[in-house]
């Protein structure tokens, strides 16, 4: 089955304390975003990448591709929206055939090939799949209204990652809905239609790089 990957890269670098958007910060000699795209293209040779970027960053991205002689520059680059929901919706207009569509954060460069294969395989079989990992910290539920907190069983919770993969007909239909603040990821958009979300094992290294500490950790993981 045909495969698409929508890479969403809308960061402004605010939490990084940098003027350069976080997806363009260098990791092991090249922008984070290039590592992310390269992982998809080396795992699936024929996958079609759709990159969603803020309009004012597209020219800069193209310059970086030339500077780094990047061989995997996506042919389809779309203008991102004010929200992640809008960015994904814009990118979905480029999905033109029955397929499985993966939606992935541009600043998750350490997703493993095993996770990618698991997500696509499960989505082909079941219609959707998202990667998750166990929560290792103790958790407490805080009730702001009552001013109380209590311990909860962490085995009942999972930390969600990307890519989140869907049958194309399913995700296209889901994004015909209007925006809802409860849409925290693509799975929540699909779930709003009454669909059951299927979970597969992610990889713990698949962190979302949002802070300087994350960047240092990613550097260390790539050095192993």
Q: What is the pLDDT of residues 127-180, one digit of tens each?
A: 999 999 999 999 999 999 899 999 999 999 999 999 999 999 999 999 999 999
DSSP, residue by residue, the chain: --EEEEEE-----TTTT-SS-GGGSEETTEEHHHHHHHHHHHH-TTPEEEEEE-GGGHHHHHHHHHHTT-TT--SEEEE--SSHHHHHHHHHTT--SS-EEEEEETT-TT--HHHHHHHHHHHHHHSEEEEEEE--S-EEEEETTTTEEEEE-GGG-EEE-S-EEEEHHHHHHHTTSPP-TT--SHHHHHHTTTPPPPEEE--TT-----SHHHHHHHHHHHH-
Predicted local distance difference test score (pLDDT) of residue 19: 77
What is the value of pTM for the model shown?
0.95
pLDDT tens-digit profile of 13-65? 555 556 789 999 999 999 999 999 999 999 999 999 999 999 999 999 999 99
- Domain definitions of the chain by residue range: 3-132+159-223
Instruction: Give the CATH fold of the 3-132+159-223 domain.
Output: Spore Coat Polysaccharide Biosynthesis Protein SpsA; Chain A (3.90.550)
């Amino acid at each position: 089955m045909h495969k698409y990957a929508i890479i969403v890269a809308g960061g402004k670098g605010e939490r990084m304390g940098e003027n350069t958007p976080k997806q363009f910060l260098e990791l092991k000699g090249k922008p984070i975003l290039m590592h992310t795209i390269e992982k998809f293209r080396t795992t699936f040779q024929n996958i079609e990448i759709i990159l969603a970027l803020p309009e004012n960053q597209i020219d800069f991205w193209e310059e970086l591709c030339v500077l780094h002689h990047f061989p995997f520059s996506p042919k389809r680059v779309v203008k991102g929206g004010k929200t992640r929901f809008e960015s994904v919706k814009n990118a979905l207009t480029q999905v033109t055939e029955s397929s499985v569509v993966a939606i992935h954060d541009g600043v998750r460069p350490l997703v493993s090939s095993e996770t990618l294969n698991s997500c696509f395989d499960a989505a082909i079989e079941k219609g959707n799949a998202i990667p998750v990992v166990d929560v290792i910290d103790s958790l407490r539920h805080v009730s702001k209204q009552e001013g109380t907190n209590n311990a909860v069983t962490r085995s009942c919770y999972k930390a969600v990652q990307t890519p989140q993969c869907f049958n194309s007909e399913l995700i296209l239909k889901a994004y015909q809905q209007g925006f809802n603040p409860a849409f925290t990821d693509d799975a929540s958009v699909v779930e709003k239609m009454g669909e059951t979300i299927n979970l597969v094992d992610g990889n713990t290294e698949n962190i979302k790089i949002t802070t300087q500490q994350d960047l240092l950790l990613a550097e260390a993981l790539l050095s192993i």
